[in-house]
Amino acid sequence: MKKTVRKWAGSSVILLAAAAALGPVLYLLWGCFSDPQGFWLTFLRTPEYLYKFWNSLGICAVITAGQLLVSCMGGLALAKYPLPGKRFLIGALVVVLLLPLQVTLMPSYLILDRMGLLDTVWALILPAVFSPFGTIVMWMTFRGVPDSLMDAAQIDGAGVWALLFQIMVPAGRSGAASVLLLTFIDAWNMAEQPMVFLSDVSEYPLSVFLASLGREGFSLSFHSGLLSMLPAVLLLLAFREELVQGGGLLLEK
């Protein structure tokens, strides 16, 4: 009897949590399909949305590719090569990773100002590319790759790039997929960085632009919100197995 009650209570809690998480999404879908003309309004009558959408998609693609490249190189160096002060460097990366975004905004602003990159798209791209998150994930991933694979590839004459992209990345594809997905989602949802690093409101990405759509009407907000979900949802569906494997790898480490 007690087991049945506990099982029923656990199931009820899970259902309530799922309803709370899916409620806003279901409301968004209802708002979209209850007014099909909103799709015409979003795509044809409001060209600003399409510009923001493709501009944001391009920025996120560059950030994701750059973060993945830097993370794979840094993770390989930390995991497989004898570097002086390696433990200190890893500890510093973890500390920076744990800092709230708001703490790092001002140092990033000052550095970008010195480099003359404020009010440019690079002010959004460079800090995200060199985030320590991906390097830590790939370090933990590459640690689990046997050294014998590297030794065999080097005996066969593989160079550093061949070793990285033909041996290590395929062997650690779950970690690489996790970095790709989480980096894209984080870049796609950025809000504080554009408002701090860009002074031209017209250059704000889609994540900030959506917040101002309420003044244009709920129809545009619903349909724009739905379409803004598609890139992240499609990536999650495409790499869902790798993401689960990468999460399990992080828990094991």
Tally: H helices and E strands in the chain:
15, 0
Residue 90, number of CB atoms within 10 A of its CB: 17
Higher pLDDT, 151 or 115: 115
Residue 17, number of CB atoms within 10 A of its CB: 10
Q: What does the pLDDT read at residue 125?
A: 93
pLDDT band at 58 (very low <50, low <70, confident <90, very high): very high
In terms of Cα–Cα distance, which of 13, 195, 9 is closest to 102?
A: 195
* Domain at 35-252: CATH code: 1.10.3720.10
Average pLDDT, the chain: 81
**Nearest-angstrom CA–CA distance, 72 and 88:** 19
In terms of Cα–Cα distance, which of 18, 32, 23 is closest to 230?
A: 32
pLDDT surpassing 80 at residue 3? no
Rounded to 5°, the CA angle 56-189-110 comes to 85
Rounded to the nearest angstrom, the gap between the alpha carbon of residue 219 and the centroid of all alpha carbons in its chain is: 28
Q: Provide φ and ψ at 81, rounded to 5°.
A: -120, 145
Residue 151, H or E segment: helix 147-155
**Nearest-angstrom CA–CA distance, 161 and 45:** 47
Q: Looking at residue 116, what DSSP letter applies? A: T
Residue 114, number of CB atoms within 10 A of its CB: 9
In terms of Cα–Cα distance, which of 166, 155, 169, 159 is closest to 79?
A: 169
Cβ atoms of residues 55 and 205 within 8 Å: yes
- pTM score, two decimals? 0.82
pLDDT band at 17 (very low <50, low <70, confident <90, very high): confident
Residue 103, H or E segment: helix 101-115
SS3 126: helix
